[in-house]
Amino acid sequence: MNIQNLEKSTWFYLCITLLLFILPMVITERSLQFIIIQIFIFGIFAMSYDLLLGYTGIISFGHVIFFGLGAYTTGIALDRLGATIGSLVIGAFIGVLLAAFVSLLVGMLTLRLKSHFYAMLTLALSGLFLVAAEKWRPMTGGNDGFTFRLPDIIREPNHLYILCLIFFVLIFFGLRRLTNSPFGKVLMAIRENENRTTSLGYKVVYYKVIASIVSGVVASLAGVLYALSLRFVNTGVFATDLTIDVLLMTIIGGVGTLIGPIIGAGLVELAHHWLSSLADVHWIFERWIILYGTLYILVVIFFPLGIIGTIRSKLAGRNK
Amino acid sequence: MDLIINLVINGLATGMLIFLLASGLTLIFGLMSVLNFAHGGLFIWGAFTGVWAYQTSGSFTLGIGVAIVTGLVLGVITEKLIVRPVYGNHIQQILITLGFMLVLQEFIKVVFGPNQKAVFPPAFLEGSFIVGDIVFIKYRIFIIIVGLLVFMVASYILRRTRIGLIVRAGVMDKEMIQTLGVNIKVIFMSVFMIGSALAALSGMLHAPYSGVIYAEMGLEFSILAFIVVVIGGMGSFTGSMLAALLVGLAQAFMAYYFPALSLAVNMILMTIVLIFKPQGLFKVEGGAR
């Protein structure tokens, strides 16, 4: 790759990356670092969602399945096999493998049909996983969950920060490359007009299933990091609340932009932090899902492109 | 034998409740290809408002009436405010109805409090009666009768009246009947309202049956309704009835013999149907694909 051929935006993103690497030296406050780590993790999760919703036009209501699988396998491996890097790798690997398998299965079953089916099957399946995690107490600890120890190397918060950042940056550039590739263009063609893409000779189902698998794998990596950041796993990783969070992040930030979901993740995470401290002020902040749900409905009706999408379409309009 | 008959009755009663929820879902989908993820929200609102009326006034009939009215009103609100602005855009419809579902669910906690509520059947439906040496629980029989009545009345309307003819034609080809001068929006609105009322009725009837009501049961129950819609074929009214009974029976038997697998068995049923008959067991000819 020739350095001079890099796009302007790539330089911009690389500069941001550099800044993020320096950040932990400036911000030393633990709780703030923790929020930033959460933003990275949910940024990854929201990007994986964007690949489905924004680029391919597939709706999943059970994306937490993959997230939860990654979190549980990591937690269980570190708990049972001892707190070493080896067991972390084994746990993460099994999580990714399971996520790939489940997304392949769901994709093969429903992606031949209308988008409703994928949404319904994933919603039902996430309910099944939630029940399974609650019932399989000896392994998962049910709703109480279990805590586990981290390997020595990443016990230091700065190291965990760097680990999450590396994954975040790699996944961002990886997905950006993927969506700009011919493969990504086919996905966007499917989103715009599925019948026409078929008639151009593309095997639409094959592309959709691959997108579903990539998205599932990325989501499971987010789950792995999530478990590491909390040192605790419970059935909350399969909860519908998480799905609505990630939906909100993707839609507020802007579907099909990849950078939008990251910004959405930042906003939603900060709002979480902020709203939970407002709970003493007024009871409505305790029921924050109402605010989120209402905001989400308004965004879908009035602001369907999201923040980044709206800015981009404004800019494109001015250039013409 | 005693046990098996009781499990069958249990399954049929659950099946009828799922049918009440799924029938509205499937007709709305068939007519306008809108998959209403907020349907479970109407279920819990029916349950909570109905139970509130029933417990304050002491009249179960009044409770049912209030639940149905709630369903009708919420149906209008959902259709006008939530579904209509994004009509024609599938992705937005799916997203927005799920968002509305969560808002409905959380508002329950605001209005009625976050704790679950205990509900008992009214005196005239409490207890059981004995035929031969088999014990029948009155309330379950009552649910089965109500479900059958709704099915028969709705089938009659769908098959024998002009309105039913229009709805069935709309499911097959909505453009065509619009060209024949039918205002499909009015038809759709009425079907949406009736579907919502049935969902609310289902919630109200479910309350004394399960004994407790809580806000999250809407989403749990609507997952069963989605499974039924897929198995029965999207848009098929009779299909939703048969599939609901199938799912209800599977649920009842598995809950007794292998409680951990009761949701799994319905997922497996749905998976098998998706593999071999992806359009459902009772595909509507020319219906929404």
DSSP string, B174-228: HHHHHHTT--HHHHHHHHHHHHHHHHHHHHHHHHHHHSEE-TTHHHHHHHHHHHH
**Helix, strand counts (H, E) of chain A:** 14, 2
**Predicted pLDDT of residue B289:** 38
Chain B: closest CA distance from residue A154 (Å): 37
**Predicted pLDDT of residue B43:** 93
Number of structural domains found in chain A: 1
Largest CA distance in chain B: 60
Computed over every residue of chain A, the mean pLDDT equals 85
Residue type, B135: V
Q: What is the DSSP letter of A150?
A: P
Q: Would you mind telling me the total number of residues written for chain A in this entry? A: 320
The nearest alpha carbon in chain A to B228 belongs to A120
Instruction: Say how far apart CA B60 and CA B123 lie, in whole Å.
Output: 9
- Among chain B, residues having any CB pair with chain A shorter than 8 Å are 29, 35, 37, 82, 85-86, 90-92, 94-96, 98-100, 102-103, 105-107, 109-110, 219-220, 223, 226-227, 229-230, 234, 260, 263-264, 267, 270-271, 274-275, 278, 288-289
**Predicted pLDDT of residue B288:** 42
- Cα torsion at B143, B149, B151, B156 (round to 10°)? 180
Per CB-CB distance under 8 Å, the chain A contacts of B106 are: 287, 289-290, 293
Number of other residues whose CB lies within 10 A of the CB of residue B289: 11
Q: Looking at the domain assignment, is residue A273 inside a domain?
A: no
Instruction: Say how far apart CA B253 and CA B150 lie, in whole Å.
Output: 25
pLDDT (mean) for A8-27: 80
Q: Looking at the domain assignment, is residue A21 inside a domain?
A: no
Give the model confidence (pLDDT) of B157-202 as tens digits. Answer: 888 888 888 888 887 787 888 888 888 888 888 889 999 999 999 9
Q: Looking at the domain assignment, is residue A70 inside a domain?
A: yes
Give the H/E segment covering residue B64.
helix B60-77
Give the model confidence (pLDDT) of A76-131 as tens digits. Answer: 998 888 888 888 899 999 999 999 999 998 888 888 777 778 888 888 888 888 88
Tokens 């796009």 correspond to: A7
Measured in degrees and rounded to the nearest 5, phi and psi for residue B221 equal: -70, -35
Three-state secondary structure call for residue A200: coil
The answer to whether the Cβ–Cβ distance between B99 and A135 falls below 8 Å is no
Residue A2 has pLDDT above 60, yes or no: no
Measured in degrees and rounded to the nearest 5, phi and psi for residue A146 equal: -150, 155
Weakly modelled stretches of chain B, pLDDT under 50: 286-289
Q: Looking at the domain assignment, is residue A43 inside a domain?
A: yes
Query: Considering only residues 207 to 266 of chain A, which have any Cβ-Cβ distance to chain B shorter than 8 Å?
Result: 240, 244, 247, 251
Q: What ipTM describes this predicted complex?
A: 0.75
Higher pLDDT, B258 or A207: A207
Instruction: Say how far apart CA A44 and CA A218 lie, in whole Å.
Output: 7
Q: What is the DSSP letter of B38?
A: T
Q: Which domain holds residue A186?
A: 31-239
pLDDT (mean) for A244-264: 87
Residues 6+ apart with CB under 8 A from A35: A269, A270, A273
Q: What is the value of pTM for the model shown?
A: 0.83
Residue A197 has pLDDT above 70, yes or no: yes
Measured in degrees and rounded to the nearest 5, phi and psi for residue A57 equal: 75, 30
Contacts by A77-83, CB closer than 8 A, 24 or more apart? A78/A148, A78/A149, A78/A150, A78/A151, A79/A146, A79/A148, A83/A148, A83/A149, A83/A150, A83/A151, A83/A152
Cross-strand pairs, B136 = B129
* C-alpha distances in Å from residue A221, one per residue of A2, A192, A248, A302, B282: 30, 29, 20, 33, 40
**Predicted pLDDT of residue B244:** 93
Instruction: Say how far apart CA B106 and CA A61 lie, in whole Å.
Output: 18
Closest residue by Cα to residue A122 from B239, B227, B82 = B227
Residue A198 in contact with partner chain B when CB distance is under 8 A? no
**Helix, strand counts (H, E) of chain B:** 11, 4
For chain B, list the domains and their CATH numbers: 2-276 (1.10.3470)
Number of other residues whose CB lies within 10 A of the CB of residue B111: 11
Closest residue by Cα to residue B54 from B164, B197, B201 = B201
Chain A: closest CA distance from residue B106 (Å): 6
Q: How confident is the model at residue A4 (pLDDT cuts 50, 70, 90)?
A: low
Instruction: Say how far apart CA B128 and CA B136 lie, in whole Å.
Output: 5
Per CB-CB distance under 8 Å, the chain B contacts of A122 are: none
Strands B117-118 and B134-137: unpaired
Q: Looking at the domain assignment, is residue A316 inside a domain?
A: no
